[in-house]
A and B are shown apart, each in its own frame.
Chain A
Amino acid sequence: MKEIVVISGKGGTGKTSITASFALLGEKNVIVADCDVDAADMHLLLQPDWHFSEEFFSGVAAEIDQGKCIKCGKCANVCRFHAIPVIDKKYVINNLNCEGCGYCYQICPRDAITMVEQNVGKWFVSNIKTGSKMVHARLRSGADNSGKLVAKVKNEARKIAEKNGVGWILVDGSPGIGCPVVSSLSGADLVVLVTEPSVSGLHDLERVYELTKKFHLPSGCIINKADINPEVVGKIKTFLQKENITHLADLPYDETFTKAMTFGKTIIESGESEIKNTLQQIWKKINNLLTDEREKS
């Protein structure tokens, strides 16, 4: 089984639209995993049937039993997260601030504090219009532990791929360089970076690649909206060469992507176009990159 992870560092570079296009091209040979659980949008293009869903519990938060509390204040004293304010002369937990470290639980002389598992979201398995399946999730707003939900989505995708003899998993990764991205990348076989030729795009690409490098994965890069700024495109290409990242293709600044999205479609379903051809070529290159890798190993 092979896992392709698409990430971008910066948001709004077209990562999800491009990943959804690959899902269409890969048809039944690809299980899709939407690991951008914070702002999951893939379902808007792939029309899942929300076939299966399950609540996801992860992490804990403190709860104080006011009947047992003797108001000694030890819990509030040790809490580094300002999560135990005194309201109406009672020590209470501020759930937004509670990190779930359990120090208060350890220190309470009356066992008045319990650590309660938190429902941080839901995950789903769906049949999608490509004829394949997709695993996706929804993080509760303000929830912690999105890295764990990402790991869950990936694991479930792997199980489904194994069970159905599907060779590839296509992962829409998270933005940034923090724990959800690390979780998206772990276990991957190939990374596809989607960037745009802006000073921010280049800056974020460099940072996210520094992280990617630690995983020693073969990588390819798509430069979206390439005609916006040829000078920065040049800088990106120099960077790709230096880092030995395969330059997969340039895509033009084109509002057709947005138009297709407005109808819940990918660009692959929107008639013949040059962009569609380019995306087909990129998909072939990705296939080749993975095959090369297999021969090497």
Chain B
Amino acid sequence: MKIAIASGKGGTGKTTLSTNLAHFLATSERVVLADLDVEEPNSGLFIRGELQLREDKFKQIPNWLKEECTLCGNCQKVCNFHAIIKLGKQIMVFPELCHSCFACSELCPAKALPMLPQKMGELKHFILAGIDFIESKLDIGQEQAVPLIAQTWEYVDAHFGNDRIKLFDSPPGTSCPVIEATKNADLVILITEPTPFGLHDLKLAVETMRELKKNFAVVINRFGIGNDDVIDYCGQEGIEILAKLPNDRRIAELYSRGELIYPKIPAFKAELQKIADYVLRLQIRSSK
């Protein structure tokens, strides 16, 4: 069972929901939580544990061998990303633009561009009672999140079976990193706020999920501020609202200190229970 927690707008509570839900579910289930917001991963500030493994993650970049090169310029010609150019008698590679497609390397007639791994970030695997927590972090200066997100999914798929509930804290927005984070999920939970910004970005996220043909449902966070437009929209579109997490200054304070919410705020816990029940029902259905 793979559940991605996503949102169009940033700061609507993806990490709050991911970490609290993981912790809450872990009282009865074996849970994996993976933080795929590799540009700004925050789950680790709320879920700590014992470090099990730390590994560097690489992407493949062409490496110019001057002695072999005939300066034919084919590499520049085949690269659609302007990541490799011929400048006088030099070939220059721009790793941050490279998509690791291997075209320049494998189509080089002189074999002067072998692909070599270059570090783009790191993955950490923590263990605490009932939860395996995987956190990937992109190095500053790396511009592409997608390869690291893909490798993190691969890590989770390789290490954990279908008996686990796997939660994926996704990046914000609706562009390529979100697609990569959600495309293999069985369920996407879209978390939003009942405000005009929240509604606008929810509509974009819904459009994206429909294009991906994903099974998705909505959680409203900070319920009580703003207006009823998000509820009306979900009603019109036939989108299930799993829970309405309350708006409460104390939640913002707990969050600001890196604490979990549900152990201290009963109204939050009651709503979290609804999401957990939904997830568990799906889990039973999918394992049958």
Contacts and interface: CB of A to CB of B under 8 A. Distances in A.
A and B held together in a complex: yes
Interface of A: 9-13, 16, 38-39, 41, 44, 60, 78, 80-81, 96, 99-103, 106-107, 115, 139, 141-144, 146-147, 175-179, 182, 196-201, 203-204, 207-208, 210-211, 214, 225, 228-229, 231-232, 253, 255, 258-259, 261-262, 264
Nearest to A142: B179
A176 B138 CA distance: 10
A198 B143 contact: no
Interface of B: 8-12, 15, 39-40, 42, 45, 78, 80-81, 99-103, 106-107, 138, 140-145, 171-179, 183, 195-197, 200-201, 204, 207-208, 211-212, 225-227, 249, 252-253, 255-258
Nearest to A180: B175
B226 A258 contact: yes
Nearest to B102: A80
Of A38, A115, A207, most buried by chain B (CB within 10 Å of CB) is A38
Contacts of A264: 196
Contact of B45 (A11, A200, A211): A200
A261 B227 CA distance: 10
A44 B8 CA distance: 15
A139 B40 contact: no
A39 B201 contact: yes
A60 B204 CA distance: 23
A297 B89 CA distance: 37
B55 to A, nearest CB: 20
B258 to A, nearest CB: 4
A39 B172 contact: yes
8 contacts: A13-B11, A41-B201, A78-B106, A101-B101, A177-B40, A198-B252, A198-B255, A229-B253
B183 A96 contact: yes
Contacts of B143: 147, 178-179, 182
Nearest to B80: A102
A177 B175 contact: no
Nearest to B259: A199
A106 B80 CA distance: 11
A142 B173 CA distance: 9
Nearest to B41: A203
The 8 closest A-B pairs by CB, nearest first: A12-B11, A11-B10, A101-B101, A38-B173, A11-B11, A198-B256, A176-B39, A141-B208
Contact of B212 (A96, A115, A203, A211): A96
B195 A203 contact: no
B173 to A, nearest CB: 4
Of B10, B78, B176, B177, most buried by chain A (CB within 10 Å of CB) is B10
A210 B253 CA distance: 26
Contact of A262 (B40, B171, B227, B253): B227
Given A11-B172, A142-B175, A199-B257, A228 B81 contact: no
